[in-house]
Amino acid sequence: MISYGLIRALTETPETPTIDPSDLTPGALQQLLQSITPSLTKLVFNIVISIIIFFIGKKLIGFILKLLDKFLAKTSIDVGVSKFLVSAARTCMYAILIFMIVGQLGVNTASIVTVMGAAGLAISMSLQGSLANVAGGILILLMKPFRVGDYVMTSFGDGTVQAIGLVYTTITTVDNRVLTIPNGTLANSAVTDASMMPERRLDISVGISYDSDIRKAKEIMEEVYRSCPAVIVDKGINVHVSSLGDSAVVIEAFGWVPGSEFLSSKWYVTEEVKLRFDEGGIKIPFPQMDVHLDTVPK
């Protein structure tokens, strides 16, 4: 059974008349009901308004998110960035809606904001590394230093980009290993994108002995480049002597190939140069040491 004191504590306002429990007569009860009726009416009114605000706000948020999604779909923004922006917008708008409803119900939102700010600060301090990775992921998705499907070279390894998330970037190497690199580290390090340009220059350098025919060696290397199916002959093939080493004459050659066929072309040219040099009598020297023993007369 609810006591009179509890009823008085819940409903008493500055305008509520003080009624002694000993005077609990039908007239006093009627006076009590008349005093609490405005408070109950106001509470019910606020609840109804809050429900209306919730449903209208929910419909409005859905409409805004659809417009934002259509707008982002028409731009060149990456899919990952688009999803992140829509998700962030949804979270912010629902937070504003909840604060409007709580304020309509008469709750002091200032204290809630203070508590949430302190909690957010504590969480951000404990998740500094993860937040740095998220920031790095947003930078990568916005600036686009590389894209999914590109072959990249990093300090962690080389491979094809499989996925760019908000926290990690996944790269698959040539031997089918999977590298998972934090975006914060990747965004602050040098990355070479070998797929950004449609064509790549294929360079190879070979050292031949000083006794070998330099002109013949240059002809062989040019023939090898021309025989490679992927080499774009129209862009030119260059063969030249780059330096005179301690034990070899270094000959360099380069030509242009499609980026997708760079590795296969490099393997082909390297092998063919060695085979053709062997056939043409061109010697490739290797490090060797001559030891001279001087006998000391007794």
Tell me whether residue 140 is in a domain: no
Confidence of residue 217 (pLDDT cuts 50, 70, 90): very high
Q: Both 118 and 154 in a single domain? A: no
Q: Both 207 and 262 in a single domain? A: yes
pLDDT at 114 > cutoff 60: yes
Q: What is the pLDDT of residue 227?
A: 93
Confidence of residue 230 (pLDDT cuts 50, 70, 90): very high
Tell me whether residue 231 is in a domain: yes
Nearest to 158 by CA among 146, 166, 167: 146
Q: Both 175 and 246 in a single domain? A: no
Tell me whether residue 55 is in a domain: yes
pLDDT digits (tens, 9 = 90+) for 242-261: 999 888 999 999 999 998 89
Neighbours of 38 (CB within 10 A): 13
Collect all residues with Cβ–Cβ distance below 8 Å to 193 and sequence separation of at least 6: 145, 146, 150, 151, 152
Domain enclosing residue 66, as ranges: 48-126
Give the type of residue at 214: I
User: Residue 211 — φ and ψ, nearest 5°?
Assistant: -85, -15
28/16: higher pLDDT: 28
| Percent of all residues in the chain with a pLDDT value above 70, rounded to a whole number | 74
Question: 285-297: string of b/e by CB count within 10 Å (b at 16+)?
Answer: beeeeeeeeeeee
pLDDT at 24 > cutoff 90: no
Residue 69 sits in a domain whose CATH number is 1.10.287.1260
Q: Both 114 and 159 in a single domain? A: no
Tell me whether residue 227 is in a domain: yes
Nearest to 255 by CA among 235, 274, 272: 235
Residue 161 sits in a domain whose CATH number is 2.30.30.60
pLDDT at 290 > cutoff 80: no
Q: What is the pLDDT of residue 286?
A: 79
Q: Both 153 and 214 in a single domain? A: no
Tell me whether residue 19 is in a domain: no
Q: Both 101 and 168 in a single domain? A: no
End residue of a domain, out of 193, 224, 250: 193
Q: Both 64 and 104 in a single domain? A: yes
- Give CA 117 to chain center in angstroms: 27
Contact 285, 207 (CB under 8 A): yes
Q: Both 150 and 180 in a single domain? A: yes
Q: What is the pLDDT of residue 11?
A: 46
- Counting the structural domains of the chain, the total is 3
Q: What is the pLDDT of residue 3?
A: 46
Q: Both 64 and 117 in a single domain? A: yes
Q: What is the pLDDT of residue 10?
A: 42
Q: Both 219 and 183 in a single domain? A: no
Give the type of residue at 149: G
Collect all residues with Cβ–Cβ distance below 8 Å to 63 and sequence separation of at least 6: none
- Stretch among 32-46, 172-186, 231-245 having the lowest mean pLDDT: 32-46
Q: What is the mean pLDDT of the chain?
A: 80
Contact 140, 191 (CB under 8 A): no
pLDDT at 53 > cutoff 60: yes
End residue of a domain, out of 135, 163, 193: 193
Tell me whether residue 78 is in a domain: yes
Tell me whether residue 9 is in a domain: no
pLDDT at 135 > cutoff 50: yes
Tell me whether residue 285 is in a domain: no
- Burial-class residue 98 by CB neighbours within 10 Å (0-12, 13-18, 19+): middle
End residue of a domain, out of 167, 193, 219: 193
